[in-house]
Amino acid sequence: MHNLLRFIKLNQFLLLFILIEGFSISLLLQNNTYQASQTIEFSTQYTSAIYNYANYFYDYIGLKETNDYLTIENAKLYTLLQNNERSFDSTILPDKTFNYLAAKVINNSVKKRNNFITLNKGSKNGVKHGMGVITDQGVIGIVHSVSKNFALVISLLHKKSAIGIFLKKNRHTGILTWKGFNYRIATISDLPIHIPINVGDTIITNSYSNIYPEEIHIGTISDFKKNNDDGFYTINVELFEDFNNLRYVYVIHSQQSEEQLLLEKIIATDE
């Protein structure tokens, strides 16, 4: 016992280091567990409040760009409205399954391997875990955790992000991921090489997802490579959205997603 105490006293620095470093590494490893997301959820309300204050300042700098953006957005919606009024065509059913909630980006990063986005809407406004986030120029991400006034979104620029996509011209389906580094380029690596593709082909979201609406335009193919060994393409997609310049986004609430999930759950349990 005496020896043990002496050992601890002599090596207290090393032991303390091992303890703290071990704690850090365990935080790193359990980044996706319940406890970790609870911690993040708890801290989000404070860190976001600070980002929100800083944002008052950034808002003044970006006032002109925001104005331009809103004008363009307005014009777009106006045309949409007019087109809608004119076409009382019974063959086109209005898609009312998705509700959109506009939110402002108060913090965002593109430089890290795993990027997160903070929004100024939270559980108070009806944002929930797992909702999709988009802009008119593409898919942004999925809500990861929510506090009362803020939400933390896993960006498309994240190791765990994967978005189901279609090639617009022939509806072949694939999965879009991000390999790190360049925030304008995402990658598809599960399209078989018998499918004909060209540089400039448009990529859109597919219809299988219950998070995103179908046919959101995401980007165009900028270059691709055939891997004859495994029979798949490696395709680089240039994204329409400039993630470094996000200002306003839409959080999507899909009214059918719960129903679809429930149905798929029944099938899963039957098997």
Partner 1 sequence: MNNYYGKYLGLLPIFVLIQVLILNEIFFFTYINPYLYLTLIISLPLRASKWYILFYAFSIGFLIDLFGGSLGFHSTATVLIAFIKNTISKITIPYSILEDNDEITLNKIGSKSFVIFSLLIILIHSTIIFGLEHLNFNLQILAKIIASSFTTLALILILEILNFSKK
- Chain residues binding partner 1 by CB under 8 A are 12-13, 16-17, 20-21, 24-29, 31, 36, 39-40, 43-44, 47, 50-51, 54, 58, 109-114, 116, 118, 144, 152, 180-183, 244
Continuous H helices in 165-256: none
**Cβ distance to partner 1 smaller for residue 23 or 78:** 23
DSSP state of 243: G
Question: What's the angle, vertex CA 181, arms to CA 40 and CA 230, rounded to 5?
Answer: 105
CB 135 within 8 A of CB 246: yes
CB 118 within 8 A of CB 51: yes
b/e map 117-142, b = 16+ CB within 10 Å: bbbbbbeebebeeebbbbbbebbbbb
**DSSP of 98-128, one letter per residue?**
EEEEEEEEEEE-SSSSS-EEEES--GGGT--
For residue 5, give the 3-state DSSP assignment. Answer: helix
Q: How far apart are CA 262 and CA 82, in angstroms?
A: 37
**Cβ distance to partner 1 smaller for residue 42 or 208:** 42
Please, what is the minimum distance in Å from the beta carbon of residue 202 to partner 1? 25
**Cβ distance to partner 1 smaller for residue 24 or 67:** 24
CB 165 within 8 A of CB 188: yes
**Cβ distance to partner 1 smaller for residue 19 or 77:** 19
CB 66 within 8 A of CB 247: yes
For residue 248, give the 3-state DSSP assignment. Answer: strand
**Cβ distance to partner 1 smaller for residue 53 or 78:** 53
Please, what is the minimum distance in Å from the beta carbon of residue 176 to partner 1? 19
Please, what is the minimum distance in Å from the beta carbon of residue 124 to partner 1? 20
Please, what is the minimum distance in Å from the beta carbon of residue 111 to partner 1? 5
Please, what is the minimum distance in Å from the beta carbon of residue 16 to partner 1? 6
Please, what is the minimum distance in Å from the beta carbon of residue 58 to partner 1? 8
**Cβ distance to partner 1 smaller for residue 16 or 102:** 16
Extract the runs of DSSP E, i.e. beta strands, from 10-97: none
Please, what is the minimum distance in Å from the beta carbon of residue 57 to partner 1? 9
**Cβ distance to partner 1 smaller for residue 21 or 68:** 21
